[in-house]
Chains A and B, each alone.
Chain A
Amino acid sequence: MADTKEAKREGDGQGSQTSSVLEAGTRAPEFSLRAAPDRSLTLSELRGHPVIVAFYPADWSPVCSDQMALYNEILPEFAEYGAQLVGISVDGAWCHKAFSQSRNLRFDLLADFEPKGAVSHAYGAYRKADGFSERALFVIDANGVIRWSYLSPVGVNPGADGIINALTALTDEQRGQPSAAEATRSSSGSSARNDSSARSSDSSATQSDISAR
């Protein structure tokens, strides 16, 4: 039922498999995952603020470490938008803990561990043949609706500009500057998987939610 979009994978050395990540306009599937050996985090607990969800293949692999280290540095920028970042991979909570400590990470890494990859799969971000998550990004608004998603070639660090653009568009929209949001949207080109009709239909809900806070 969820909107999906086919995206070609490149550069993963495995030919032209395709994957389908959930698109903008889709309600973000709820999840509750271990954020630490003794603590769980539920997506709906984060309502009221934008949430950035970064699926990635594995703790410790070089590209992931770079990407997570980069996001760690960018946390202050994300915080300016009131956004919270979570990383998700199929690694277990103890593995996440060791990885996080070694990289001094200041955001939660969630363990999509049991049933393995179930949340990644729900977001269309699971590589079944490999048994790990895609490198995929989602920006979810304060109401729990996906507003931007991106599937990266698995071997490429996608940076954070797409996330920042999406957060900027959300903020502009909240401030009642649809034209600025529109501009960001159209300039983000084919790489940003936005569904403008879905966006405009739930923007009023977002605005009313924001003003109620």
Chain B
Amino acid sequence: MSDGILSPPVSERDHTSGPASAPVTLVEYGDYECPYCGQAYPIVKAAQRKLGKRLRFVFRNFPLSEAHPHARHAAEAAEAAADQGKFWEMHDALFENQNALEDDQLVATARRLGLDAERIAAALEAGTYAQRVREDFRSGVRSGVNGTPTFFINGRRYDGPWADERTFISALENAAKAARVKA
């Protein structure tokens, strides 16, 4: 229904991987406990390998916490890791261990990554990053996220299939070409 326009656009507030000058920005609204996001994780990795510096990847939180009781704390743990400079390490570790998202397991994962795990445990307890996660969620609602994962390519919701790696990568390649023509 929606115009499917990413709002707000990608900014310094976001966790990004890849150059800001990349012709393609891929934004995922995801949930660390969602099996489909888990399925999408290696596909995004493959896209990052294939497009290299032509792709900037952004992850925003969209925890469906009524359906996935661990999703919110997992998102908060990733945000806490970001404050220690290791967002993507934590993001990857969570998706690679989707069955280990209890609080003590989140803290153990943080410790394994060399993070100050006690600080992360305290942040989970205090809900330090709850608002940040909620802000991501609200921006997703306004942008027309209708489930997880929802992708945006260069600011527009991508409604095509993502589970097929070749189709997904070719959508990104096409966006790269379109951006070059425009520029």
Contact = CB atoms under 8 A, between A and B. Distances in A.
Interface of A: 66-67, 69-70, 72-74, 77, 103-104, 106, 137, 150, 152, 156-162, 164, 187-189, 191-192
A164 B141 contact: yes
B3 A159 contact: no
Given A73-B64, A103-B67, A159 B144 contact: yes
B145 interface: yes
B65 A73 contact: yes
Interface string B136-170: 01100111111100000000000000000000000
B131 interface: no
A157 B147 contact: yes
Given A152-B1, A189-B3, A191-B3, A161 B66 contact: no
Nearest to B7: A161
B66 A150 contact: no
Interface residues of B, number: 16
A73 B138 CA distance: 10
A164 B145 CA distance: 12
A77 B142 CA distance: 11
A159 B145 contact: yes
A72 B66 contact: yes
Nearest to A72: B66
Chain B: interface secondary structure? loop
Given A150-B1, A189-B3, A191-B1, A161 B64 contact: no
A189 B145 CA distance: 18
A121 B121 CA distance: 53
Contacts of B1: 137, 150, 152, 158-159, 161-162, 191-192
Which one of A70, A150, A164, A187 has the greatest number of beta carbons of chain B within 10 Å? A70
Contact of B141 (A67, A74, A106, A188): A74
A194 to B, nearest CB: 13
A98 B65 CA distance: 20
B11 interface: no
A103 B142 contact: no
Given A70-B146, A152-B1, A191-B3, A161 B67 contact: no
B2 interface: yes
Contact of A66 (B142, B144, B146): B146
Nearest to A106: B66
Contacts of A137: 1
Interface in B1-23: 1-3
5 interchain residue pairs of minimum CB distance: A159-B146, A157-B146, A161-B144, A161-B2, A158-B1
A161 B143 contact: yes
Nearest to A69: B67
Contacts of B65: 73
Contacts of B142: 161, 164
Interface in B60-93: 64-67
A104 B64 CA distance: 12
